[in-house]
Amino acid sequence: MKSTTELPFVRGFVRLCEIGDKLGFHERNGGNTSYHLTDDEIRAARALLKGRKPGPWTDVDPKGDVAVPQLAGHWFLVTGSGKFMRNVAYDTEDSIALCELDGDGSHYRIRWGLCNGGRPTSEFSSHLMIHEVKFRVSGGRTRVLYHAHPPCLIAMTYVVPANDKAVTRALWNTMTETSVIFPKGVGAVKWMVPGGRAIAVATAKLMEKYDDAIWFFHGALCSADTFDNAMGQMEVLEKSAKIFMTVQSSGMKRLGAIVPAGYRAIAKAFNLNLPTRFL
């Protein structure tokens, strides 16, 4: 292997960004992605980058408010702030960065990427706080965080209350298999300023029990073990929201819904433990 862009996790990352753009989830620089490297992937990247001078150590959070000690020394691939998702495949080395955290998880340095300058996404500190939670609760399985601005999902947040139960019930009650994709439910984060500590703390708390959270009037954040699953979850969120909004705006009387006994049958058929509070 000769170049960093040939590393399998870089290829998967680029593909996710490309698909998200094609699906209309990213206007301009809307959305961002981060990937938490495994030890083997760090070794492979190190070997390729041998002799290359790393960038300077920089605060993870410009205000110096955030540290992720449980991720000290870990590496992340992340989109650059202000970079357009549609350019990630077209000009990869300009659009994304491979970052290494320092020994206490409060500073990062760029090992590769953002070749024309720039910094990781403005939500890098939020991503890291969520990765820290997910690393702990998933036993290291969760690797991908994907934030997007899917239009129907955002529209839905104007007509559904900002709580987990309302959002989960609305989404589950669209396609029969939505509850199978989100068996734990989906978290709701009321409107907050993006990139700040408050939205990071609120989302990280929800991510202890959910894999996906909706940011009201903004978008969603999905966490998963693979790029396919992160994208798959975002697609199902958006498609479910599209069905919800279509039904809402049809002007027709709603004649049916999936009833609690239906969910219990789904749980049995798919061997799931669907929380009763969402039925």
Binding site for Zn ion (CB under 5 A): 219
Residues of span 58-117 touching ligand 13P by CB under 6 A: 79, 81-82
Which helix (H) or strand (E) segment is 112 a member of? strand 107-113
* Euclidean distance between CA atoms 211 and 138, whole angstroms: 10
* 195-203 contact pairs (CB < 8 A, 24+): 195/122, 195/123, 195/125, 195/126, 197/61, 197/63, 197/65, 197/66, 197/125, 199/126, 200/66, 200/123, 200/125, 200/126, 200/129, 200/130, 201/129, 203/126, 203/129, 203/130
Residues 6+ apart with CB under 8 A from 275: 184, 185
Q: Is 123 in the site for ligand 13P (CB under 6 A)?
A: yes
Among 30, 118, 232, 262, binds ligand 13P (CB under 6 A): 30
Residue 126 site contact among Zn ion, ligand 13P, none (CB < 5 to 8 Å, cut-off depends on kind): none
Q: Which is nearer to ligand 13P, 88 or 101 (CB)?
A: 88
> Of ligand 13P, Zn ion, none, which one does residue 122 interact with (CB within 5 to 8 Å by kind)?
ligand 13P
Question: Given 123, 132, 235, 238, which residue is catalytic?
Answer: 123
Site track for ligand 13P across 162-201, x = CB under 6 A:
--------------------------------x-------
Selected binder of ligand 13P within 31, 105, 183, 187 (CB under 6 A) = 31
Measure the CA–CA gap between 189 and 161, rounded to whole angstroms: 10
- Is-catalytic flag, 41? no
Residues that bind ligand 13P (CB under 6 A): 29-32, 79, 81-82, 121-123, 147, 194
Q: Kindly list the catalytic residues.
A: 123
